[in-house]
Chain A
Amino acid sequence: MSSPKKNEKQTVIQDVLEKPSSRRSFLKGASIAMAAGSAALATGCMATGDTTTSEEMKLRWQEYFKKHYRLMTAEEKKETVKRLERLAKIQNDLDVQIGTDPPIENVLYGYAFNISRCEGFMECVAACVKENNLDRKTNTQYIRIFEMEPGKLDPSTGDGQFYHKVPVENKFYMGVQCFHCENAPCIKACPTKATWREPDGIVVVDYNWCIGCRYCQAACPYFGRRFNWSQGEVPKEELTTKQHYLGNRRRPKGKMEKCTFCIQRTRKGRLPACVEACPTGSRVFGNLLDPESEIRFVLEHKKVFRMKENIGTEPKFWYFID
Chain B
Amino acid sequence: MKKQIIPFAIPGLSLLLMLLLTSFALANEKSFLDTIKKTVKPFDARSVKKVRPVTRKTVLALEEYRGGSFRVLARKQEIKRYKCSNCHGEKPVLVKQGFELTHGNVIINHGRAGNELSCIDCHSEDDRDFLEDKKGRKIDFDHSYKLCGQCHFRQKRDWLGGAHGKRVSNWAGERVIYNCASCHNPHSPRFSKRFPATYSVPLN
Contact = CB atoms under 8 A, between A and B. Distances in A.
Interface of A: 101, 104, 106-108, 112, 114, 117, 119-123, 125-126, 129, 138-141, 144-145, 160-167, 182, 223, 226-227, 229, 266, 268-271, 275-276, 278-281, 283-298, 301-302, 314, 320, 322
Contact of A298 (B163, B193, B197): B163
Interface in B146-199: 158, 161-167, 169-173, 178, 183, 191, 193-199
B48 interface: yes
Contacts of B197: 121-123, 125-126
A161 B66 contact: no
Contact of B52 (A167, A268, A279): A268
B183 A281 contact: yes
Contacts of A293: 43, 45, 162, 171
Contacts of A294: 161-163, 166-167
B34 to A, nearest CB: 11
B28 interface: no
A271 B200 contact: no
Interface string B27-54: 0000111001001111101001111100
Given A269-B48, A287-B43, A298-B162, A144 B171 contact: no
Secondary structure dominating the interface of B: loop
A269 B172 contact: yes
B11 interface: no
B57 to A, nearest CB: 18
A84 to B, nearest CB: 21
A166 B194 contact: yes
Contacts of B48: 104, 268-269
B37 to A, nearest CB: 9
Interface in B53-97: 65-67
Contact of A292 (B66, B178, B203): B66
B169 A276 contact: yes
Contacts of B158: 301, 322
B202 interface: yes
Given A266-B171, A322-B158, A283 B166 contact: yes
Nearest to A272: B171
Contacts of B39: 289-291
Contacts of B183: 279-281
Contacts of A117: 164
30 contacts: A121-B197, A122-B198, A125-B200, A141-B201, A165-B194, A182-B32, A268-B48, A269-B49, A269-B170, A271-B171, A275-B166, A278-B166, A280-B183, A284-B163, A284-B166, A286-B162, A287-B171, A287-B172, A289-B36, A290-B39, A290-B45, A292-B42, A293-B162, A294-B161, A294-B163, A294-B167, A297-B161, A298-B161, A298-B163, A302-B163
B200 A141 contact: yes
B171 A121 contact: no
Given A269-B50, A269-B170, A290-B42, A165 B66 contact: no
B204 interface: yes
A183 B158 CA distance: 30
A5 to B, nearest CB: 44
Given A161-B199, A166-B196, A270-B171, 18 more contacts: A107-B43, A117-B164, A125-B197, A125-B198, A129-B198, A138-B204, A165-B194, A229-B204, A269-B52, A269-B170, A269-B171, A281-B164, A288-B36, A290-B43, A292-B43, A292-B66, A294-B166, A297-B162
Contacts of B162: 284, 286, 293-295, 297-298
Contacts of A276: 169
A285 B170 CA distance: 10
Contacts of A286: 162, 171
Contacts of B65: 292
The 9 closest A-B pairs by CB, nearest first: A294-B162, A269-B172, A269-B51, A290-B43, A292-B67, A297-B161, A122-B196, A269-B48, A268-B50
Nearest to B31: A314
A291 B43 CA distance: 8
Contacts of A297: 66, 161-163
Contacts of B49: 269
Given A108-B36, A270-B170, A271-B169, A165 B42 contact: no
Contact of B204 (A227, A268, A291, A292): A227
Contacts of B193: 165-167
Contacts of A292: 42-43, 65-67
